[in-house]
Amino acid sequence: MKRVYFLLAITAFGMNAFGQKTIDQRVSELLSKMTLEEKVGQLVQYSGFEYATGPKNSNSANVLNEIKQGKVGSMLNVAGAEETRKFQELALKSRLRIPLLFGQDVIHGYRTTFPVNLGQAASWDLKLIEKSERIAATEASAYGIHWTFAPMVDVARDPRWGRVMEGSGEDTYLGTQIGFARIKGFQGKGLGNLDAIMACAKHFAAYGAAVGGRDYNSVDMSLRQLNETYLPPFKAAAEAGVATFMNSFNDINGIPATANQYILRDLLKGKWNYQGFVVSDWGSIGEMVPHGYAKDNKEAAERAINAGSDMDMESRAYMAELPKLVQEGKVDPKFIDDAARRILVKKFEMGLFEDPYRFSNEKRQKEQLNNQENRKFGREFGSKSIVLLKNQKNILPLSRSTKTVALIGLSEKKLLPITDSGRLHLKMIIKESLLNLTELKIN
């Protein structure tokens, strides 16, 4: 008799075999209660740099009011147990009490600083790289952060591009393996654990191939090169279960990545069957206007959502324009529902509906403040990221007739003599360095 009642209960409440609603069921139930404006609100992300949790000016007051109305889904640059708790309290005053996601650039460490990403790649040590992100995730999550905008898996082959140091270099295979290690480090044993944060594969796609190495510039390449060189790290990230993707600023063969249906809907969400969500880079939806691809924010919002960009980071275009675009028939409501669903799924997976404050814990935060074991590991990682070049089997293009070698960028001894033994001695004074090195030798 008890088993009959249990089965009846499962049928009545739409539960799974374990007597609990699945995340998909809970998201569908929540979406059915949401207005169009509340769904669009989940697609909005603001920066917390200029907003205190008490209104200081009319602009910040408007943002705080929008949070209380359920018109904001995420904040970035809000960190610390106390601060994130205050913003979460505002979100829980909304009609449906949907919690916020807090994102932050956690690029090469959080409280503990590690070598820049290109230096980490030079270590060729995937286990160390994964451990560094495991430490970063543990520290960041203790400060109330749910989501990092990393790893950057852009392949970069033009040293003129200023962001080359944030990636893993020019090799597609190595970049793919390092990206996988970083995602594993950030997301740990799975979203929902208190020491795991959502990772973000960026910048999708081909950001490192900008013409002339100029940031935001056009990318002009064949689909063969795009698929063979620049997309494999992103495909691997999707297969590894990375929580989110971020658009790149550049266009690809004339179409901005933020409004590029081929890479977002046809490839990422179609062929690759990616289930996470896509966030714009800072203002990249609105920047399609000065870049000449959209005449105004309304057209920019239309093109972005139709292409598959789910969350608007700081363009302030979605909340202002999407409800009107749906009413005018220019945007299919199914795209709004799909974007909101993807974001809500992550909030459920992070356990924020069960406890919106679970990451805002001051005790955990204090435990991660100046963690000496983490600092010790940082020093070890720093030493292993320093590369000493050895001219084995004369791999370098140096002949005995070469008298000097110019090293560009050094403040001392621009021309270095090559000795008869073929040993190149480089004296470099490193002030206040991690390891207090006074001499490096390149053999």
- pLDDT computed for residue 157 by the predictor: 95
- Residues with Cβ within 8 Å of 56's Cβ and at least 6 positions away in sequence, in order, are none
Say yes or no: 415 and 335 in one domain. Answer: no
Helices (H), 188-329: 223-225, 232-239, 261, 297-307, 318-327
Provide the pLDDT confidence category of residue 124 given band limits of 50, 70 and 90: very high
Token duo for residue 215: 């940031």
Residue 411's domain spans which residues?
388-442
Say yes or no: 218 and 357 in one domain. Answer: yes
Give the phi and the psi of residue 98 in degrees, each rounded to 5.
-90, 125
If one compares 391 and 203, the residue with the highest pLDDT of the two is 203
Question: What share of the chain in percent tops pLDDT 90?
Answer: 78
Residue-wise pLDDT tens digits, 224-252: 999 999 999 999 999 999 999 999 999 99
Token duo for residue 317: 């275009």
What is the rounded distance in angstroms from the CA atom of residue 437 to the CA atom of residue 433?
7
Say yes or no: 392 and 260 in one domain. Answer: no
| Residues annotated as catalytic (active site), given as ranges | 281
In a domain, residue 178? The reply is: yes
- pLDDT computed for residue 15 by the predictor: 57
Say yes or no: 302 and 433 in one domain. Answer: no
- pLDDT computed for residue 323 by the predictor: 98
In a domain, residue 281? The reply is: yes
The answer, yes or no, to whether residue 410 has pLDDT greater than 80, is no
The answer, yes or no, to whether residue 267 has pLDDT greater than 70, is yes
Say yes or no: 209 and 264 in one domain. Answer: yes
If one compares 238 and 58, the residue with the highest pLDDT of the two is 238
The answer, yes or no, to whether residue 10 has pLDDT greater than 90, is no
- Residue 258 is part of a domain; what is its CATH number? 3.20.20.300
The answer, yes or no, to whether residue 414 has pLDDT greater than 50, is no
Say yes or no: 60 and 129 in one domain. Answer: yes
In a domain, residue 373? The reply is: no
- pLDDT computed for residue 409 by the predictor: 54
Q: Crossing angle for the helix pair 333-349 and 318-327, nearest 10 degrees?
A: 140
Residue-wise pLDDT tens digits, 149-194: 999 999 999 999 999 999 999 999 999 999 999 999 999 999 999 9
Beta bridge partners of 278: 245
Please say which residue of 308, 336, 367 terminates a domain: 367
What is the rounded distance in angstroms from the CA atom of residue 177 to the CA atom of residue 364?
31
- pLDDT computed for residue 397 by the predictor: 78
In a domain, residue 81? The reply is: yes
Q: What is the DSSP code (8-state) at residue 57?
A: S
Query: Degrees (nearest 5) of the Cα angle 187, 190, 194?
Result: 80
In a domain, residue 11? The reply is: no
The answer, yes or no, to whether residue 396 has pLDDT greater than 90, is no
What is the rounded distance in angstroms from the CA atom of residue 268 to the CA atom of residue 234?
9
Provide the pLDDT confidence category of residue 50 given band limits of 50, 70 and 90: low
Say yes or no: 359 and 398 in one domain. Answer: no
In a domain, residue 256? The reply is: yes
Element (H, E) at 312: strand 312-313
- pLDDT computed for residue 440 by the predictor: 37
Kindly report the pTM of this predicted structure. Answer: 0.85
- pLDDT computed for residue 19 by the predictor: 64
Of 105, 107, 121, which Cα lies nearest the Cα of 381? 121
What is the rounded distance in angstroms from the CA atom of residue 16 to the CA atom of residue 25?
9
Token duo for residue 132: 């560094």
CB 194 within 8 A of CB 358: yes
Say yes or no: 324 and 427 in one domain. Answer: no
Mean of pLDDT over the chain:
88
Say yes or no: 66 and 211 in one domain. Answer: yes
If one compares 29 and 400, the residue with the highest pLDDT of the two is 29
CB 237 within 8 A of CB 190: no
Provide the pLDDT confidence category of residue 423 given band limits of 50, 70 and 90: very low
- pLDDT computed for residue 404 by the predictor: 78
What is the rounded distance in angstroms from the CA atom of residue 136 to the CA atom of residue 54?
30
CA-CA-CA-CA torsion for 303, 74, 369, 361, nearest 10 degrees?
Answer: -160
What is the rounded distance in angstroms from the CA atom of residue 437 to the CA atom of residue 14?
65
- Helix, strand, coil percentages (3-state) for the chain, rounded to 5, are 45, 10, 45
Place of tokens 């000493």: 388
Token duo for residue 438: 């006074």
Say yes or no: 304 and 438 in one domain. Answer: no
- pLDDT computed for residue 391 by the predictor: 74
Helices (H), 14-69: 23-33, 36-41, 58-68
Provide the pLDDT confidence category of residue 77 given band limits of 50, 70 and 90: very high
Strands (E), 159-258: 200-204, 244-247, 251-252, 255-256
* Number of domains, the chain: 2
Residue range 432-442: mean pLDDT, rounded: 35
In a domain, residue 49? The reply is: yes
What is the rounded distance in angstroms from the CA atom of residue 117 to the CA atom of residue 106?
11
Please say which residue of 321, 337, 367 terminates a domain: 367
β-strand pairing of 101-104 with 74-76: parallel
Say yes or no: 131 and 165 in one domain. Answer: yes
In a domain, residue 381? The reply is: no
Neighbours of 221 (CB within 10 A): 15
- pLDDT computed for residue 406 by the predictor: 72
Alpha-carbon Rg for the chain in angstroms: 24
Residue-wise pLDDT tens digits, 309-356: 999 999 999 999 999 999 999 999 999 999 999 999 999 999 999 999
Say yes or no: 276 and 171 in one domain. Answer: yes
What is the rounded distance in angstroms from the CA atom of residue 17 to the CA atom of residue 3?
13
Residue-wise pLDDT tens digits, 15-45: 555 568 999 999 999 999 999 999 999 999 9
